[in-house]
Each structure stands twice: as C-alpha cells, then as structure tokens.
Amino acid sequence: MGTALQRFVAKENRERVVTGLGWFSIGLGLAELLMPRTLSRLVGAPRKPLLIRALGVREIAAGVGLLTQPKPAPWLKARVAGDAMDLGLLGAAFFAEDSRPARLAIASTAVAGVTAMDVLAAQDAASGTPPSGRGVVHFEHSIIINRPAEELYRCWRNFEELPRFMNHVIRVQASEGGRSHWVAKGPAGTTLHWDAEIINDHVNELIAWRSLPDGDVDHAGSVRFQPARGGRGTLVRVEMQYRAPAGAAGAKIARFLGQSPEKQVWVDLHRFKQWVETGEIARTEGQSAGRPRSTSRKYDDLVRA
C-alpha cells in the first residue's frame, strides 16, 4: 500500500483521518441528495436521480456514524462496503449509452483512492495493531476443564501425544533438555519445521516454551493450569505470541484464509477438553452423506482449523 499512505493512516493521525472521512461522507452525501443531476453530469454517469439520492442517504448515515459514535470500526467497514458498491456502479456506468467515459475514469480513480484510505483505516480500527510492520501477534485463550490440574499438566507435557488433539501438528519428537522438534501444516499446503525448548516448567502449574532460531516459525507461548472459579474444575490458559512469517500482511492473509494460529489454538483447546473429558474427539469426518464429501468444506473444514 506504500509506507507513505500507511504512515498517514498511522495511530497519531487516526482520529484526524476518521473525522476527515466523516465530514467527507456528509459533504458528498449532501451533494448526492440535493444535486443528483449535477453530480451525475460531473462524474460522467447516466442521470439516475433516485439512485443517487439513495446513495446520498447511505453516505450521510456513514458520515454521521463516524463523527458521533465512539468506535469507528463498523462505520469504516460500512464506508468500505459503500466504496465497493460505488466502484461497481461506476463500472456498470461505463456500459450505459449516455455515459462520459473520460469523466467516469477520473471519478473511478478518485473513488479507488478513497477506498484505499477507507480500507487501511478500517483494518487499523478493527485490529488495533499499529501498521508498523513489526508483525508480532499476541493472543490468549482459556477454557475450563472438568479434570484436576495434575491430569491436564501430564497430558500436555507429553508433547509427543499433542498431535492427537492439535489438528495442524503432524509430529513432535521430544529430546533431552526440554527440547523438541515440531512438524506442522502451514498455510496454503506448506509444511513447517522448527525446534522448541522449554523455558519454564512448574509441575501441575505452568509450561512455557519458545521456538529456537532457524526454524520456520518464530513464537513463544505458555499454558497455565489454575483452579477454575467456583471450584468447577481447572482453568487452562494458553498465551502465545508469534511473528507471522510474512509480517503483518502475512498474518492478515493467513487469517483471511482461515488458518490463523489464534483460531487454531482455540479449536485445539476445545479438542483438548473433549479428549480429556470424554476420551474422544467429536468428529463427523467419514460419516454418511448425500454427496461425495462427508463434511462441508465451507461450514466444517474451515471452522475446524
């Protein structure tokens, strides 16, 4: 996207950008509402006053939202959706009889520029990550399991058994001194290899580890076993931070492809719970169905990491 643009939309400028986009929306929306015919002539599109007025209303709504609501993220997303709609309409306008292609081209370029700003601002607002390109992602998940901490610690500490409930881990080989070698499925059909070492080990309470240099993955994590509130079993809390292989952009792409480590850990924790509480992991792979695949790619495979 260009570092200049990124810096422009960086944290310090964020509020100014949001306010600017808000007033821009209102200004444009008012023009669409009050002077639809003039606007269509300016932009080179066929005259459709009703449509343009409706777009004006939408624009004003987004603007008001941006200026008055405390969290800009959903309104920025609405702007992006609106931009997509506008680009689509402008594109379709090229095929109309009474269009002026030169003006349409200029208008489309302008809208594309605004779209870029909106997308950046929306991503920024949604993720809360500064677009600094450092690419370190940090997250945590916890789950309550109906078993004593000793049992859970023992199960987790036995790294070679982890592939049972960690879908994306193919194999773990434990060796001396708390080291282990890991092989796992990466995004887009790749295989990841890395070595890890234990940096902290309190029996029945905590295991912390980090990956060693020269591996495919750069991450550190910990799992804690604590009594759950109200005496209802054990709270298992996993914290992880990792540097995405291709920086922040890579992390976003991985998330888009449905293979984010954050989601995988969530699913793995739930599978760990099933394994420990019931002795099996809920599955439908291999069941009967009225189609070649027993499961649904869209609704099952993507969501089961």
Partner 1 sequence: MKANCWYGKHDMRVEEVPDPEILNPHDAIVKITSTAICGSDLHMYDGFIPAMEKGDIVGHEFMGEVVEVGSEVKKVKVGDRIVVPFPISCGQCFFCQKGMFSLCENSNPNAAEAELLWGHSPAGLYGYSHLLGGYAGGQAEYARVPFADVDHVKIPDDLSDEQVLFLSDIFPTGYMAAENCDIEPGDTVAVWGCGPVGQFAIQSARLLGADSVIAIDQIPERLRLAKEKGGAETINYNEVDSVVETLREMTGGRGPDRCIDAVGMEANGHAHAGQFTYDRLKQALMLETDRPIALRECMLSCRNGGTISVPGVYGGFLDKLPFGAVMNRAITIKTGQTHVQRYLQPLLERVQKKEIDPSFVITHRMKLEEAPRAYEIFKNKLDECIKVVLKP
- Under rule CB under 8 A, which residues in 263-282 are in contact with partner 1? 263, 266-267, 270, 273-274, 277-282
With beta carbons less than 8 A apart as the criterion, state whether 46 and 80 touch: no
Q: How far is the CB of 272 from partner 1 (least distance, A)?
A: 11
Residues pairing with 185 in the sheet: 191
Q: Does 61 bind partner 1 (CB under 8 A)?
A: no
The least distance separating partner 1 from the CB of residue 269, rounded to whole angstroms, comes to 11
Per-residue contact string for residues 145-184; x = within reach of partner 1 by CB under 8 A? -x--------------------------------------
Name the residue nearer to partner 1 (CB basis): 213 or 230. 230
Is residue 296 close enough to count as binding partner 1 by CB under 8 A?
yes
Which tokens sit at 11?
Answer: 């944290």
34, 232, 249, 257: residue in contact with partner 1 (rule CB under 8 A): 232
**Binding window for partner 1 (CB under 8 A); candidates: 67-75, 97-105, 242-250, 291-299:** 291-299
Q: Which residue has the tokens 């007033």?
A: 23
Residues paired with 211 in a beta bridge: 196
Choice from 144, 203, 212, 249 touching partner 1 (CB under 8 A): 144
Segment interacting with partner 1 (CB under 8 A) among 88-96, 120-128, 129-137, 262-270: 262-270
Measured from the CB of residue 115, what is the shortest distance to partner 1 in angstroms? 25
Exposure of 195 in the CB half-sphere (CA atoms within 13 A): 9
In a 13 Å sphere around the CA of 214, the CA atoms on its Cβ side amount to: 2
Shortest distance in whole angstroms from residue 265 CB to partner 1: 12
- The residues, any chain, with a CB within 8 Å of residue 279's CB and separated by 6 or more, are none
Size of the site for partner 1 (CB under 8 A): 32
Residue closer to partner 1 by CB (options 1, 57) is 57
Name the residues that contact partner 1, by CB under 8 A.
144, 146, 232-233, 263, 266-267, 270, 273-274, 277-291, 295-296, 298-300, 303-304
